[in-house]
Chains A and B, each alone.
Chain A
């Protein structure tokens, strides 16, 4: 053992504590940085003295996987909630003024006409209420289509986002493998944090599987096993218009003929695909069925009556553009009737009675929908109930996912988050260590002086 040893010990100790203090500084500085995992210096004894064996990044990989899975589910449900709450606004009939109320007015207008079949005012009311009803069907149909088109636009912009994240990940993978050779652990830790936040961002959009390789690069696969990122390479996705629906299909850019829509099962991309292809499509189907049945039943009854000029009633409602395409967004009142309200066939005979109008309004109680199980109004009311049900369900899912997410985030924060109090305690500890190391120098110097004095 030599006197020089104490100097070496003092130097190592001083440097080690210096490193620890630097890390504390970095932790404090990043206390509010999203995705930052706190770092800790690992002191290790050296015979004699101390050294920093490594810088530990406080991170639980399994918790990370769980958080990404939860993000996947949460962002999918949030996307659904976004679209569904827009639909709910369209169909909010709590204050009246919707199709439900107009249907009531429509039936009542026929009742009024039946009591005074030759009345011009009654005829005009029937026509104008029917026009309002048809125009509401059209606007609801258009509004639903807007939601569908928006979802379609979201699909292509989310695909662009995925491509951005995949490229970034490939880029970082390249840097990580380079750094792994140099042993710069703090630089590596920062890149790992970046990788994690890219994974979380990606998981929000699409359900992915990923593996961390021995060289610290991350490989990402879609749920169907196709590779999105491997090493410093990434495969771009693209959107191609479907031949039938003309909506965007998600494909790999190098295989544009194969749609991978069905492999995307969760996350916001899947949610928008689902909203577009299933949810809104279903709502439109229900609304179209109602419009088509209403037009068919009313037209059939109208044809059994006579107008004021003794003509057999013509079509009351018709579908614009193409009579075969019986969709709510095309429903209109016959132009001939709008031009001449006397063409409303209110009478059951050529003598101008009001019996056909009464029969017409009695259709309100006919079980015309759901293969003879419900009336027009009841069918529409249960449709509103169904939308409400869907919205309530997605709201509950978002609430549930958010609670889980909060718990998981807390769990991660508990391990990876920075506590200022802790860092302050560490600072005091390391500062004391640093001070003490400096004292070692003084002691070594004294020792050396004593020795010199003996010699001198």
Chain B
């Protein structure tokens, strides 16, 4: 059967087709100008969420690379400071060997003592070196200068420090005799405060507040007078005196630094950053391990140099020659630390290579998922152009073919 064709059908069909082609054309133009296959989530929902996930990986990989770079700079500086320190020890050892001979005189030894003093000062400035405002060798207390010029003869307990946000505004003092072998930060945290009985329950941390021993220990804060916690570890004590207006409250934090003998003021901790997913990396070398005989360290570098200086000043040939082995061990200790820098550096090198590879891979994957294929688009675009021209040409003729033209 022949189909009736009404006027509206002719126009509608033309309009529909024209809009369809124009719509396709516009979409292609959009892809062409943005050079992206996905211009809104609905263009490719799965692709879109894939791209977002890939971008997240890309951002984290870029950050890990940045972290690796800053670790590398830190290690490079550390290594150069340590190798200078090694050189100083070699010089000190040469002096010791030269002055340990019978040919050396009191005069040459005095001169030697002067040089060793210079070496000590030089060593102190190396060990107290900073990178971007942070001390390289103070463990995790990067704001404290790690070494002092004179040694503590006995262990010391620093002043108690109350956190600024504490409710308690009375006096807190430290006391006791420190028996620990390394520098530590003791923290007391009030975990419960009973206002009626004025009883405080508290936890103690010996590592600066990261790990806690919950002993359930309590003390009663008297209205007048003071109360001591007793030994909270290695002989450290805190004394509370309710001289202020507010009593204790939960989460009040009090800390105290305890120092072992020697020149070191930092701690044995290492600084860490993430260099990959779930990969924290300790990038610093603590001064404790590199320069002291505490914790991981074996030889007290400053102590040995100081003994050498004193032996030279005292013109003691045996005293000097006894120190040669110690100086050898000190050099060994420094060079061990240098090789630890090297190991860390290698690890970073590998990680950095991995990250670079991943960055490339991710860029490729993202490009695959969202970038437009320009050649394909141009081909399609010119096809659509022809279709569009055809429909315009058809539209221009629509009025010219009717019976009316033939009726006179």
Contact = CB atoms under 8 A, between A and B. Distances in A.
A307 B67 CA distance: 22
Interface stretch (A4-12, A148-156, A418-426): A418-426
Nearest to A378: B53
Interface residues on B, range: 35 or more
Contacts of B317: none
Contacts of B45: 384-389, 391-392
B209 A349 contact: yes
Interface string A69-93: 0000000000000000000110111
A204 interface: no
Interface of A: 31-32, 88-89, 91-94, 96, 100-101, 103-105, 107-108, 111-112, 114-119, 306-307, 309-312, 314, 348-355, 358, 361-362, 364-365, 377-378, 380-382, 384-389, 391-392, 395, 406, 409-410, 413-422, 424-425, 428
Interface string B209-242: 1100000000000000000000000000000000
Contact of A358 (B8, B43, B274): B274
B165 to A, nearest CB: 4
A94 B12 contact: no
Nearest to B4: A414
A361 B4 CA distance: 71
B36 A103 contact: no
Nearest to A108: B63
Contact of A385 (B36, B46, B56): B46
A391 B62 CA distance: 33
B251 A351 contact: no
Contacts, number: 230
Contacts of A94: 36, 38-41, 48, 51, 370
A114 B67 CA distance: 9
B80 interface: no
A350 B7 contact: no
Contacts of A378: 53, 56
Interface of B: 3-9, 12-13, 16, 36, 38-46, 48-53, 55-56, 59-60, 62-64, 66-67, 70, 132-134, 139-143, 161, 163-166, 185, 187, 189, 207-210, 251, 253, 255, 267, 269, 271-274, 277-278, 280, 370, 402-404, 407
A182 to B, nearest CB: 30
B140 A388 contact: no
Contacts of A406: 12, 16
A297 B41 CA distance: 28
A352 B278 CA distance: 22
A111 B51 CA distance: 23
Most A Cβ at <10 Å: residue of B41, B141, B161, B271: B41
B6 A100 contact: no
A329 to B, nearest CB: 21
Given A381-B56, A384-B52, A118 B4 contact: no
Most B Cβ at <10 Å: residue of A105, A314, A364, A388: A388
Contact of A417 (B4, B370, B402): B4
Chain B interface, >50% SS class: mixed
Contacts of A419: 4-7
A179 B182 CA distance: 109
A378 B48 CA distance: 12
Contacts of A415: 4
A350 B273 contact: no
B402 A420 contact: yes
Contact of A351 (B62, B132, B267, B403): B267
Nearest to A427: B407
The 3 closest A-B pairs by CB, nearest first: A417-B6, A349-B208, A388-B41
B253 A350 contact: yes
B287 to A, nearest CB: 14
B7 A418 contact: yes
A354 B208 CA distance: 13
B256 to A, nearest CB: 10
Given A94-B36, A348-B210, 17 more contacts: A116-B132, A118-B133, A306-B253, A312-B165, A352-B141, A353-B142, A378-B56, A380-B52, A381-B53, A388-B41, A388-B44, A388-B49, A391-B40, A406-B16, A413-B12, A417-B4, A424-B407
Given A88-B42, A114-B273, A420 B210 contact: no
B67 A111 contact: yes
Given A92-B41, A413-B6, A424-B407, A311 B12 contact: no
Contacts of A105: 59
A118 B273 contact: no
B164 A311 contact: yes
B274 A361 contact: yes
Contacts of A114: 272-274
25 contacts: A88-B41, A94-B38, A94-B40, A105-B59, A111-B274, A116-B132, A116-B134, A309-B163, A310-B163, A312-B253, A350-B187, A350-B253, A351-B140, A355-B272, A358-B280, A362-B280, A365-B60, A381-B49, A385-B46, A388-B48, A389-B45, A391-B40, A417-B7, A417-B8, A420-B7
Contacts of B7: 31-32, 417-420
B63 A107 contact: yes
A312 B165 CA distance: 8
A64 B3 CA distance: 19
Contacts of B280: 355, 358, 362
A283 to B, nearest CB: 12
B12 A409 contact: yes
A354 B9 contact: no
Most A Cβ at <10 Å: residue of B46, B48, B66: B48
B209 to A, nearest CB: 5
A89 B41 CA distance: 9
A100 B41 CA distance: 13
A351 B256 CA distance: 10
A398 B38 CA distance: 20
Contacts of A384: 41, 45, 48-49, 52
A381 B41 contact: no
Contacts of A107: 59-60, 63
Given A365-B278, A392-B45, A425-B403, A312 B189 contact: yes
A294 to B, nearest CB: 14
Contact of B404 (A100, A314, A355, A420): A420
A381 B52 contact: yes
A238 B272 CA distance: 66
B56 A103 contact: yes
A353 B209 CA distance: 11
A365 B279 CA distance: 11
Given A104-B59, A382-B49, A310 B6 contact: no
B141 A351 contact: yes
Nearest to B54: A381
B52 A353 contact: no
A415 B3 CA distance: 9
B209 A418 contact: no
A91 B41 contact: yes
A238 B267 CA distance: 75
B42 A100 contact: no
B403 A421 contact: yes
Contacts of B4: 414-415, 417, 419, 422
Contacts of B67: 111, 115
Contacts of B139: 351
Contact of B55 (A104, A364, A395): A104
A107 B66 CA distance: 13
Contacts of A424: 402-404, 407
